Amino acid sequence: MQKKGVLGSLFVLFGVALACAGEAVANGSGNTAAAVYFGQTLMASGIGVGIAAGGCGIGMGLVIASSLQGIARQPELQSKLQMNMLIGFALIEAQVLYALFLAIIFLFANPFMGKI
């Protein structure tokens, strides 16, 4: 991804987080600490999922490259290599899903919000 795309995504993410925090303060909730905490949680969730997705993309690319090299060298092992490749894809993709689930939990059912 180009630097412009990454920076643009981060600016949009920060803008949304600040808008959500500002809206909570403007609605007269009176709890500015909770609004700031929600904004920080929103930023951390977006950055965490973005890093996990980037790592997943790199990992999947390496798995595909290695699998294709193995198939090119020994075509008779194609079925075994494809099965191992698919298992590897599932394990790699699971890491992104774990990060996404944690982000959703922290955004909508945050267990730490009651302490603020």
For the chain, list the domains and their CATH numbers: 3-110 (1.20.20.10)
pLDDT at 39 (0 to 100): 75
| Residue partners of 67: CB distance under 8 A and separation at least 6 | 81, 82, 84, 85
Q: Do the Cβ atoms of 21 and 37 come closer than 8 Å? A: no
pLDDT score recorded for residue 2: 52
pTM here?
A: 0.65
Among 53, 52, 40, CA closest to 13: 40
What local confidence, expressed as pLDDT, does residue 25 receive? 57
Can you give the pLDDT at residue 54?
87
pLDDT score recorded for residue 1: 47
- b/e for 63-82, b at 16 or more Cβ within 10 A? beeebeebbeeeeeeeeebe
Residue ranges of the chain whose pLDDT lies below 70? 1-31, 110-116
